[in-house]
Amino acid sequence: MKKENGFIWKLGMFVTIGLLLLISTIYFIGKRQNLFGSTIHLKAAFKTVSGLKLGNNVRFSGINIGTVNNIEIISDTSVLVDVVVKKEMQKFIKTNALASIGSDGLMGDKVLTISPGIFDDSIVYAPIKDNAFIPAKSAVEMDDIMYSVKNSVDNVDIITSELAEFTYKLNNGKGALSKLMTDEKFGKTLDATMDNLKASSKGLSENMEAAKHNFLLRGFFKKKEKAEAKKKEEAAKKLEEQKMKKEDAAKKLAEDKKKKKG
Amino acid sequence: MLTYIKNIFNDVGDVSLFTIRFFKEVFKPPYEIKEFFKQCYFIGYKSLPLVAITGFIMGLVLTLQSRPTLAEFGAESWLPGMVALSLVKEIAPVITGLICAGKIASGIGAELGSMKVTEQIDAMEVSAINPYKYLVVTRVLAATLMIPLLVVFADGVGIIGGFAGVNIHSDVNMVRYSEQVIKSLDFIDVIPAVIKTFFFGFSIGLVGCYKGFNAANGTESVGKAANSAVVVASLTVFILDMMAVQIVDLFY
């Protein structure tokens, strides 16, 4: 009899541990799918679900809070998605929440994201109810991205063709720009012109000096000088006033800090 | 040629009758409870070390072997999930099935074969004990119920082996690892894998018993019975596995 007991408890232990392993595995997988524990259902209608599948994750603020429970097509333009969300998340999801479909990484699964809506301090949003509808925000589709990429590529095409035309004209044309770029003689002429211009402007400044001393124009120049001096003074005054203000503000701040510490 | 084919059909018919007899006898009292527990102990508990060591090594080796390929894609974080998935779905059931085919089917085949040769089975019948009930039903039932448990153990130990393998090259803690494992598993992966192991166990027990019970007279036939029990049981495990995977594939 003793011998029998010896093997029976070993067998019992073996069976118990094996069954516990199996049950815990099933429990944890079930927990992941929200089959156990209290949950709430939320619904959202999308134009397209972009490959969302049953069992995909539902995210709120980047945390997985549930899974997609059912996807049902209602009409040719709307698909109803039913999601199961943990009950403890109910108080965080407000009535102004928005649902959108995105993808998890480049190759990853699709995820349904519930994001808080535009927040307005004046309104207190109530937590969402069970079986409530969440307005859907249409996600950026791959097609949309491709379409905009195509647009910009088309533009680039036009720009490059125009650029090619422009450079061709530049190289072979007879306009001023092409002359500037290619004609050596023109460059030399331009240089000479610049020299002439320099000499003539020097002459002009001498003329002006002479004009200042001329009694007919002296009055005008004196008036101008006076006006400039006045402007400078005013500017200096303003600067000083600003400095004073800043110092006052700094003093006030210091006093406030002292009061707080006190 | 004709007799050869006839012999094959004869064998198939015999096995079918043997199986039908099992189902007839299994529900009929009296039940041989004590013998059943004893067989459970031998088949389940005594095979555990072997299965656990194999499972651990399979998990470890699978992790080490698949790491370079996944590292090429920069997808090393998928390693726990991939190893757990392949262990639970395929490797643990089949490897455990094969190990048990080697250990249990050969054991049963040799035991019953020698009993048959030494006419112990006939002696049982004379002393009004149903030998089929006492020897076959208990063993087949024990194998059917114990091998799924052994597979569950192999899954668990294999996943621990995978954890050891992952930690050789990188540093992943147990919580993160088990989270990734659970994340990758689904009911559709676990349930069919568990169900098919019942069939593995049943076929291993049945083949062992059939070969032993129908051993010819003579000492060499004991060895023959044990040998062919292992071969047929291993083959059956593979064939059943293929069928099971195809059936699951239909639904998924």
Does residue A53 sit in the same domain as residue A99?
A: yes
Note the pLDDT of residue A261: 64
Note the pLDDT of residue A3: 52
Model confidence band, residue A222 (pLDDT cutoffs 50, 70, 90): confident
Note the pLDDT of residue B144: 93
Three-state SS sequence of chain A: CHHHHHHHHHHHHHHHHHHHHHHHHHHHHHHHCCCCCCEEEEEEEECCCCCCCCCCEEEECCEEEEEEEEEEEEECCEEEEEEEEEHHHCCCCECCCEEEEEECCCCCCEEEEEECCCCCCCCCCCECCCCEECCECCCCCHHHHHHHHHHHHHHHHHHHHHHHHHHHHHHHCCCHHHHHHHCHHHHHHHHHHHHHHHHHHHHHHHHHHHHHHCHHHHHHHHHHHHHHHHHHHHHHHHHHHHHHHHHHHHHHHHHHHHHHHC
Is A235 within the bounds of a domain?
A: yes
Stretch 49-108 of chain A: residues touching chain B, C-beta under 8 Å: 55
Task: Could you list the beta-strand ranges (E) of chain B.
Answer: none
Does residue A63 sit in the same domain as residue A120?
A: yes
pLDDT above 70 (res A139): no
The mean pLDDT of chain A is 81
Domain boundary among A106, A139, A172: A139
Does residue A131 sit in the same domain as residue A79?
A: yes
pLDDT above 90 (res A106): no
Domain around A23: 1-32
Does residue A118 sit in the same domain as residue A75?
A: yes
Domain boundary among A115, A139, A163: A139
Q: Of residues B105 and A11, which shows the higher confidence score?
A: B105
Contact B234, B98 (CB under 8 A): yes
Stretch 148-177 of chain A: residues touching chain B, C-beta under 8 Å: none
The structure's pTM equals 0.63
CB-CB neighbors (< 8 A) of A30 in chain B: 187
Model confidence band, residue A87 (pLDDT cutoffs 50, 70, 90): confident
Does residue A19 sit in the same domain as residue A88?
A: no
Is A111 within the bounds of a domain?
A: yes
Percent of chain B residues past pLDDT 70, beyond the cut: 100
Instruction: In whole angstroms, give the CA distance from residue A227 to residue A3.
Output: 122
Q: Is A217 on the interface with B (CB under 8 A)?
A: no
Note the pLDDT of residue A4: 55
User: How many domains does one find in chain A?
Assistant: 3
Q: Is A39 left (phi over 0), alpha (psi -120 to 50) or beta?
A: beta
Least Cα separation, residue B139 to chain A (angstroms): 15
A54-63, A179-188, B151-160, B176-185, range with the lowest pLDDT: A179-188
Look at A22 and B48 and tell me if their CB atoms are within 8 Å: no
Does residue A27 sit in the same domain as residue A42?
A: no
Note the pLDDT of residue B188: 83
pLDDT above 50 (res A1): no
Encoded tokens for A63? 């945390």
Domain boundary among A139, A155, A180: A139
**Torsions phi, psi of A204, nearest 5?**
-65, -40
Find the residue in B nearest to A15 (Cα).
B149
Least Cα separation, residue A26 to chain B (angstroms): 7
Q: Of residues A123 and A209, which shows the higher confidence score?
A: A209
Q: A87: number of CA atoms within 13 Å, CB side?
A: 5
Is A123 within the bounds of a domain?
A: yes
Is A147 within the bounds of a domain?
A: no
Q: Which of B137, B65, B78 is nearest to B108 (CA)?
A: B137
* CB pairs A-B closer than 8 Å: 52
Note the pLDDT of residue B30: 80
pLDDT above 60 (res A2): no
Is A56 within the bounds of a domain?
A: yes
Mean pLDDT of A136-142: 71
For chain B, which ranges sit under pLDDT 70?
none
| Facing residue for A29 by CB, picked from B37, B44, B185 | B185
- Among B35, B41, B195, pick the best mutation site for testing chain A contact (most A Cβ within 10 A): B41
Is A180 within the bounds of a domain?
A: no
Q: What is the DSSP letter of B136?
A: I
Is A253 within the bounds of a domain?
A: yes
Least Cα separation, residue A90 to chain B (angstroms): 23
Instruction: In whole angstroms, give the CA distance from residue B27 to residue A148.
Output: 72
Find out whether the peptide bond into B29 is cis, omega within 30 degrees of 0.
no
Does residue A7 sit in the same domain as residue A64?
A: no
